[in-house]
C-alpha cells in the first residue's frame, strides 16, 4: 500500500492556518462509535469551530460535527457530542503545561485514516491579530506576483 493511501485525509480545517499561528503538532487517536466511523467514511464531518480541551487528565474534542449515519438504526449519537482524543500520558502532561499559557489553545487541523484507524492532527495555536492576517495576505500576494513575473520572463 502506498503512503498516500495510508494517510487519506477525511476533512481539513483550512481556516486554522489563516486564524492561528501553529506552534506544535500532535497526532491523536479518536474514540468513536461504529456509526460515526461510517459517517466519516462518507465524509460527513465538519471541523470548522472545533477545539481541544484538557479536562480531568483527558483530552476532548469539542464542537466537531459528525452527521448521523443514515442506516445507523436505533443507536443514534448526538452529532456534536464531545469525543475523547487518545494520547500518551507524557504527551498529555506536556500539552497541559503549554495550554495553561495565556492565549494558547488546541486546534484540530485535520482528520485522516492511518492504517484503518481515524487520527486527528492537533496543533498548539495562538490566535492571529487582524494585522497578522493582512501581513500574511500581502506576503502571499507578493510571492504570487513574483512567480508570475519569473514565469513570464522565462517565456520571452
CB neighbour class for 36 (10 Å; exposed up to 12, middle 13-18, buried from 19): buried
pLDDT for residue 81 is more than 80: yes
Q: Does some domain include residue 148? A: no
Cell 449519537 locates to 77
> Which pTM was predicted?
0.76
pLDDT for residue 38 is more than 60: yes
Q: Residue 84 sits in a domain of what CATH number?
A: 2.40.280.10
Task: Summarize pLDDT for 97-132 with one digit per residue, the tens.
Answer: 888 877 788 999 999 999 889 999 999 988 888 877
Q: Does some domain include residue 45? A: yes
pLDDT score at 122 = 93
* Lowest model confidence (mean pLDDT) among 49-58, 76-85, 108-117, 136-145: 76-85
For the chain, the average pLDDT equals: 85
Q: Does some domain include residue 100? A: yes
Residue 36: which domain range? 7-128
Q: Which of 77, 76, 39, 81 is nearest to 64 (CA)?
A: 81
pLDDT for residue 142 is more than 80: yes
Q: Does some domain include residue 90? A: yes
Query: Based on the structure, what is the number of domains in the chain?
Result: 1
pLDDT for residue 50 is more than 50: yes
Q: Does some domain include residue 153? A: no
Q: Does some domain include residue 135? A: no
* Lowest model confidence (mean pLDDT) among 25-34, 71-80, 112-121: 71-80
Amino acid at each position: 500500500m502506498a503512503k498516500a493511501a495510508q494517510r487519506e485525509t477525511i476533512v481539513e480545517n483550512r481556516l486554522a492556518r489563516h486564524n492561528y499561528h501553529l506552534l506544535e503538532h500532535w497526532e491523536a487517536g479518536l474514540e468513536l462509535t461504529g456509526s460515526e466511523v461510517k459517517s466519516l467514511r462518507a465524509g460527513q464531518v465538519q471541523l470548522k469551530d472545533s477545539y481541544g480541551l484538557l479536562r480531568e487528565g483527558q483530552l476532548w474534542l469539542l464542537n466537531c460535527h459528525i452527521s448521523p449515519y443514515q442506516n445507523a438504526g436505533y443507536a443514534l449519537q448526538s452529532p456534536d457530542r464531545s469525543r475523547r482524543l487518545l494520547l500518551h500520558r507524557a504527551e498529555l502532561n506536556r500539552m497541559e503545561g503549554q495550554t495553561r499559557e495565556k492565549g494558547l489553545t488546541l486546534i484540530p487541523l485535520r482528520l485522516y485514516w492511518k492504517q484503518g484507524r481515524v487520527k486527528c492532527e492537533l496543533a498548539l495555536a495562538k490566535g492571529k491579530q487582524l494585522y497578522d492576517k493582512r501581513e500574511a495576505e500581502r506576503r502571499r500576494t507578493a510571492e504570487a506576483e513574483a512567480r508570475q513575473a519569473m514565469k513570464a520572463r522565462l517565456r520571452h
